[in-house]
Amino acid sequence: MKYKKLTKSEKAHHPNIHYTGSARGMKNLGYWGKNDYCVRSGNYIYNLSIWVG
């Protein structure tokens, strides 16, 4: 997992989960793609491969 500082607009346009959640679980369940680019910023993990809104 990479760490990156995101802007407010980036945080608002990408799906996220709390850092205590499991990005691996989101990928295994099929909600996020296996090759999606995920980064941690603060207390959240953001999926930068998916655009919301």
Q: With the C-alpha atoms ordered 31, 40, 10, 36, is the resulting torsion angle positive or negative?
A: negative
Residue 41 has a pLDDT of 96
Name residues whose C-beta falls within 8 Å of residue 42's C-beta, 6 or more positions apart in sequence. Answer: none
pLDDT for 28-42, tens place per residue? 999 999 999 999 999
Q: Give yes or no for residue 1 having a pLDDT over 90.
A: no
pLDDT in tens, 10-19: 999 999 999 9
